[in-house]
Chains A and B, each alone.
Chain A
């Protein structure tokens, strides 16, 4: 427990807030990695997820993406990719983009897929074009799952960026890895505290955004199906299950 106090002492020591590897710089790097990677991951995963969710084509890709992402060890993936791409900001960004895509893709796909086909058909019968259906019906109704995918991707990227410090990358993970290498426990614990605070703060902010901005679907939207045992599955559980198919 004493180490916690030393860790906090390390964080609040003014000399760790100035210079080229100060806490502020590392914090900035971490947010930079996360922001840039999420942007490009979204650029790839969102259109792809919308397409797969809307058309049902290539569902295998979405399912495989979420399964593979769960099974592949991040550390190994980082080792291979950074070794082949070289150390630097660009390779790091590429690795983090790759790691951010699967959760985002799975979330977007599952969100669109979770919309009741009857609702979509009703929209189509009213004369909406496919793009209008996607924009005005499927995205709003699937928004909470889509946003859930975005939250998961954000945390995935933040956590992977920490591990990436082992492979000479910047960011908050540096304090963990450097502290470990030099047996500097206060620095290491300080790094861990910073990482935890950042992860919780970012997730907390996203949770608040989700609560106030993202529309939630009332439970009556989806017709309740019956299980093989005759029990009703709650609508939310049904939509969640969709990513699981094929396992």
Chain B
């Protein structure tokens, strides 16, 4: 425990890079998945293409993806952008399915009523489809958030610094405290992200406060529920 206090500066710095490296993929993944998921919910062909491509990308083990990405886009191996891109790919792969199911869960009668009272397609999307699919989207992004935070640490194998550094360094020094500090730190970051997402959801969907526990169960992907890597 004493080690934690004397090295608090190191741990804090690593925590910040952990936060940074996981927040970006979560946010970018969410933003990218919304139009893709909407597309997938409207067309069977788009759905099957997007979900198969997502499934294939999600199948690639993270360490291999971290190494292949710099080769494809020509960045340096140590560039944190590789980890961010890889984790964004995973996030999109999970989230497209969630958001496709989220948009599909909006009742057709409600959409028809919106059209009947004169909403344009874009208006209907922003005023009806998007808010109504909010709870399911929230459930999906929570899954993405937790798995992204835990995956960031694998990047430390290729030298991208995060709380994972405590795992590799602790292993080499045969020092359990350091490894445990890393595990606890990762769990804390994941928990803080999860709480933040729930609070954002509450603020944005005040009408849903009581219905959330019910609707949050509708998560898009059985694969996203069962974590890998």
Question: Contact flags (1/0) for A56-84 with B, using CB distance below 8 Å?
Answer: 00000000001101111111111110111
B17 within 8 A of A: no
Q: Are A228 and B215 in contact (CB under 8 A)?
A: yes
Interface residues of B in 44-81 (CB under 8 A from A): 56, 59-65, 67-68, 71-72, 74, 77
User: Majority SS of interface residues in chain A?
Assistant: helix
* A66-B170 Cα distance, complex, nearest whole Å: 27
B158 within 8 A of A: yes
B87 within 8 A of A: no
Contacts of B101 in A (CB 8 A): 237
Q: Are A163 and B157 in contact (CB under 8 A)?
A: yes
B123 within 8 A of A: no
* A159-B166 Cα distance, complex, nearest whole Å: 21
Q: Are B227 and A241 in contact (CB under 8 A)?
A: no
Q: Are B143 and A189 in contact (CB under 8 A)?
A: no
A200 within 8 A of B: yes
Q: Are B226 and A73 in contact (CB under 8 A)?
A: no
* A69-B60 Cα distance, complex, nearest whole Å: 18
A18 within 8 A of B: no
Interface residues of B in 5-58 (CB under 8 A from A): 56
Q: Are B71 and A244 in contact (CB under 8 A)?
A: no
B96 within 8 A of A: no
Residue of B nearest to A6 (CB): B71
Interface residues of A in 191-244 (CB under 8 A from B): 191-193, 195-196, 199-200, 203, 227-234, 237-238, 240-244
Once A176-B63, A240-B222 are accepted as A-B contacts, the answer to whether A231 and B171 lie under 8 Å apart by CB is no
Stretch among A90-98, A129-137, A145-153 lining the B interface: A145-153
Closest-CB distance, B12 to chain A (whole angstroms) = 18
Stretch among A21-29, A100-108, A120-128 lining the B interface: A100-108
Contacts of A67 in B (CB 8 A): 146
Residue with the highest number of chain A CB atoms closer than 10 Å, among B59, B151, B216, B228: B228
